[in-house]
Structure 1
């Protein structure tokens, strides 16, 4: 199903020069063990970045395969996502440095928040920032789903994060929208915001364009895009700085114990600067011998 917010990106051009994308229907396997064995063998034999897409995967097969691989080191350097509504299992093997630049973006942002007094050491000790950790969805329409985000923030004893970031480098736009739906709807309100970065290599060049979207839930609990900012090419200068605007609750969740010594109200905003994202993304592109558009 095509999403109405789909950007004008060519779906036929792989955005990664060395990427191998393989789509397989689960119906060709005789049982779950046969399917899991194939998945494990493909991961172990991979010597370059790959995106494995398995369609028509039943909830029991998808759930058991992800959980079983996580119990061993077979899933090392992968991101596994199983969506029980779409019946699609996606496994990203060897994420690129551009794929992972969201982690550095948050680290730089966190330093800025400390410098401005918008985040104190007391509050920092309550949050954890994780990469590729498996999230389990145990109830609702996405029951049995598994998701390993590129980055997320979780506070105190919460099981699900408050803020999730996903970076789309080899994923299709529809797959990214399915991920967003899973997180915001499947999280049943616990996940407040999803940030999606989408990168695209221009055909027959080394130039990469990209933008970042912010999705939240509306009053009916349905996902809605609240903001989009272009990263590359750099848009014409505007009177105000280019940044994502989130509330503290959207970033840190409802269980953060505010520091009474922190400057500002408890419902203050948290700003993620796009210029800082450009800086870390440009460094990542240089390591891949690519250039900002």
Structure 2
């Protein structure tokens, strides 16, 4: 069970950034069967949260491997992401509270919007909020990509969400940026915004800090940074700013 995220970690705490990230090139495997066997074995042997990163993975290998994992109980303890443009398959084993904090954030924001009248009961009933659900991308440079976001919001009956939220440690920043590009460009206009939360541990002071960035598409359809805010530890409140 993961610990709650705290701004000040005790000297004896085991901070989540120590979670292992293991990178392996798919070229070392003879065929897809051997590759899948290696992935499945790594998932089943894991006893702590970790991230498996496989490079130079073909779309066919990724599709078959992810489908196979999702047909077993291993699918429930992992989040799989395949980027066909970068040919990287990333599997997060035992997602932690850091990945799930966006769920609490949205719940509190939803309550606040209901209280202020910015969100009606009817509007709330028309949206779905999902965690780790597989999104498939069918066209463009990200064709055959798969993404299981930490959190997303979509209108009922829509295949793709309008808003996606991702959270991770600073060590995974490049992967978070690749995810953001996949979602905004690969979504073919359906995904309007991506929120990225990045957390960093100062190993000397044992302090955790975090910031949030909002990305949208520019007029040419390419990702652009719209807004950035420090969120953790909580900045001093501004009496002139909204409460949500």
- Same fold by TM-score greater than 0.5: yes
Structure 1 match to 2:129: 129
Are residue 110 (structure 1) and residue 74 (structure 2) matched?
Answer: no
Question: Which SS does the other structure have where 1:221 is aligned?
Answer: coil
Hey, what's the Cα distance between the residues in 2 that align with 1:227 and 1:57?
33
Structure 1 match to 2:196: 196
Structure 2 match to 1:87: 87
Q: Report Cα offsets for 1:172-192 as digits up to 9, x if no partner.
A: 211111000000000010000
Measure how far apart 1:17 and its partner are: 4.8
Output aligned runs, 1:11-50, within 5 Å: 16-50=16-50
Verify the 8 A CA contact 1:130 1:151 in the aligned structure 2: yes
Measure how far apart 1:41 and its partner are: 0.9
Query: CA 1:215 to 1:17, structure 2 compared with 1: closer, same or farther past 3 Å?
Result: closer
Verify the 8 A CA contact 2:133 2:149 in the aligned structure 1: yes
Measure how far apart 1:18 and its partner are: 4.0
Hey, what's the Cα distance between the residues in 1 that align with 2:232 and 2:74?
36
- Relative to the length of structure 2, the TM-score reads 0.89
Structure 1 match to 2:184: 184
Hey, what's the Cα distance between the residues in 2 that align with 1:166 and 1:180?
9
Q: Report Cα offsets for 1:123-151 as digits up to 9, x if no partner.
A: 11111100000000011110110000000
Shifted more, 176-185 versus 61-70: the winner is 61-70
Structure 1 match to 2:11: none
Q: What's the RMSD between the two structures over aligned residues? A: 1.8
- Relative to the length of structure 1, the TM-score reads 0.75
Equivalent residue pairs, number: 231
Q: Report Cα offsets for 1:31-74 as digits up to 9, x if no partner.
A: 11111111111111111010111011011111221122112212
Measure how far apart 1:196 and its partner are: 0.2
Structure 1 portions without partners, runs of 5+:
1-13, 244-272, 274-293
Measure how far apart 1:242 and its partner are: 6.7
Hey, what's the Cα distance between the residues in 2 that align with 1:15 and 1:135?
30
